[in-house]
Each structure stands twice: as structure tokens, then as C-alpha cells.
Amino acid sequence: MDQRKSKIGTTLEDLYKCDDKSGTTNLQPHQYIKLRIQSDPSNISDIIELPEKYNAMDWIYEQLRQICIELTNLLVMLQEECSSQTCPVMKINDWLYLCASHPIPKECSALDYVVHTVDQAVSTLISSKIFPKRSGLDPNVKPHLENISRRILRIFGHAWSNHREIFVQFESQYFLYERLFELNKKYGIEQGQEVIPPGYKELMYGE
């Protein structure tokens, strides 16, 4: 828990400002990330910017953990219209994806694919075999992080191509797809096939 003390009269906005001069120097990476999100979830460049005192792999790892937590909100929203009847297989436009959460990859409904993917991502991130510690991670864990990121991006791709209103509603509040995309680009995380067009913001907001 963050044990910082705030001065009388401190506004909520100021309380959650996260620069190194505001009492955040002793925070763990996941605490730092949460505070940045609380300060302004739309400020992607600030949220993903690596502070000098943190290890890059630790930072990416904690970013993905936080993304998985917030991703459950998209899952809840998708349940309103994504079902085995409306989306019997996992598709993004004309691309069909098999679910890798089974001993042998196979077709799943899109909603099951989403649930299985999030569950598998969480299981990987908390695996003591893959990540025996939560800090001081070596660069050799990068393929595991790339695999998680690549599969999560497909969830956003399905929402964009098949449930556009839900994607827009979710992304306008959480900016989670943009955060993951920019995180990958900034730290050289391989993203696989592009699942959402580069001009998606213009299509969302008519800019």
C-alpha cells in the first residue's frame, strides 16, 4: 500500500501526480504504473515511460500484468453481444484464429477464446517456473511477454472488427489498446499481424 502522506488542501489530481519529486521514489513498478493511470489514463506516453530506477523487463512485465487486470472490463462488456451464436469462432475480419489454450490448438467461440487467452496470460505471468521472481528479470523472458501481448492484441482486433461500438466505448475510457500498442512499439515487443488499422482513432472519433 502507498504510505505517502498528503498535505491539507491537496487535490485528488495532485495526489496522483507521479514524478520522482512527489514522493514516489520508493514505490514498486506496479504501484508507480497504477498511480500514473489514476492521474490520467489517456496520457499513454507518461504511463509507459520507463523511470531510470527500474529494470526494463520488470517494467514491461508489470505493464502487462496491469493490462490483464483492466482487460477483464472489456470481457464483461463483450458478453453483452459476443456469444457462441453470434461469434462461433474467433475471427478478425477474414482471419480465423485457433485457441492455443488447449493441448492441441482448436477452434473456440470468440468469447471462449478471449476468456482462455486472458486466463492463460495470467497463469503465465504468475508462473513461478517462468517468472521465479518479480524483479530483476532477465531479457530471456521477452518471448513469453511477446506471446502474451500478441494474443491480447487479437482480443482487441476481434472487438474492433466485430463489436465496434463496444471497442469504442471501452477504449475511450481505458485507452488500453493504445497503451499496449505503444508499449510494444517503444520497447521492441514483437506484435505479430496488425489487427487494427493505423487510422483507427480517426474512425473512432471522426478526427
Instruction: Note the pLDDT tens digit of each residue in 69-85.
Output: 999 999 999 999 999 99
The share of the chain scoring above pLDDT 70, in percent, equals: 86
Query: CA triplet 92, 96, 101: central angle to 5 degrees?
Result: 105
What's the alpha-carbon Rg for the chain, to the nearest Å? 18
pLDDT digits (tens, 9 = 90+) for 5-19: 434 444 434 443 444
Which structural domain, as residue segments, surrounds residue 99? 55-205
Cβ atoms 108, 90 nearer than 8 A? yes
Q: Is 49 among the domain residues?
A: no
Cβ atoms 162, 110 nearer than 8 A? yes
Q: Is 183 among the domain residues?
A: yes
pLDDT digits (tens, 9 = 90+) for 93-152: 989 999 988 889 999 999 999 999 999 999 999 999 999 888 899 899 999 999 999 999
Distance between CA atoms of 60 and 180, rounded to whole angstroms? 10
Q: Is 35 among the domain residues?
A: no
Indicate which CATH number applies to the domain containing 80.
Answer: 1.20.140.30
Q: Is 160 among the domain residues?
A: yes
pTM, two decimals, is 0.84
Q: Is 170 among the domain residues?
A: yes
Average pLDDT over residues 169-186: 95
Tell whether residue 82 is among the known ligand binding residues: yes
Tell whether residue 116 is among the known ligand binding residues: no
Tell whether residue 158 is among the known ligand binding residues: yes
Task: Quote the mean pLDDT of the chain.
Answer: 86
Q: Is 39 among the domain residues?
A: no
Q: Is 19 among the domain residues?
A: no
pLDDT of residue 6: 39
Q: Is 23 among the domain residues?
A: no
User: How many domains does the chain contain in total?
Assistant: 1
